[in-house]
Amino acid sequence: MAPLGAAVRYVAALSPKFHWVGIYILKKNILELGPFIGEPTEHTRIPVGTGVCGTAVAENSDQNVPDVTRVPNYLSCSMKTRSELVVLVRDKRGRVLGQIDIDSHLPEAFGPEEEKAVRKIADELGVLWPA
C-alpha cells in the first residue's frame, strides 16, 4: 500500500483546493476505498456504474464534475463538496486498476492544469501499483 499512500499525500499537497483525496482500488466490480486524506466517508465500497467514481470505470473515462449538485447519481461524501475530479489509474496494457478521487469545497476547482498534474501521478502510480 506504500505507493498508494504516498500518491494520496502528494496529490493532497498539490493544491489548497483539494479538500479530500483518496484512492479507490478496483476489485472485480467494486471500488474499494484505500488510503485517503480528509473526512471519513461512508462510501468505502462503490459498485461499478454507481456515482461519479463508478461511472468513471463503467465509461473507462476520467470524470471532471464542476458542480456536483447537477449530477443525479452523485454519492455525497460531505455536504461541503461542490466539485469532484476522478482520474483513472491503468496498467501498461490499459486495464483499469483503480482511481484517484478528489473533492473540493469550491465549485469548478479542477481545470486543465489540475487534470494534467493528477494524470501525471495516475500514470506513475500505474507502474508502481501493488499487485
Q: Given the rule CB under 6 A, which residues bind ligand SME?
A: 20, 22, 41, 43, 46, 51-54, 74-75, 77, 84, 101, 103
Handedness of CA 77, 80, 83, 85 (dihedral sign): negative
Handedness of CA 78, 83, 89, 95 (dihedral sign): positive
State in angstroms the smallest separation of the CB of 92 from ligand SME. Answer: 26
State in angstroms the smallest separation of the CB of 77 from ligand SME. Answer: 3
Name the grid cell of 51.
456515482
- Smaller CB distance to ligand SME: residue 39 or 127? 39
Picking from 52, 40, 66, the residue whose alpha carbon sits closest to that of residue 101 is 52
Name the grid cell of 23.
484512492
CB-based contact 85:75 (threshold 8 Å) = no
- Smaller CB distance to ligand SME: residue 25 or 77? 77
State in angstroms the smallest separation of the CB of 124 from ligand SME. Answer: 22
CB-based contact 57:101 (threshold 8 Å) = no
- Smaller CB distance to ligand SME: residue 51 or 126? 51
- Smaller CB distance to ligand SME: residue 20 or 125? 20
State in angstroms the smallest separation of the CB of 81 from ligand SME. Answer: 6
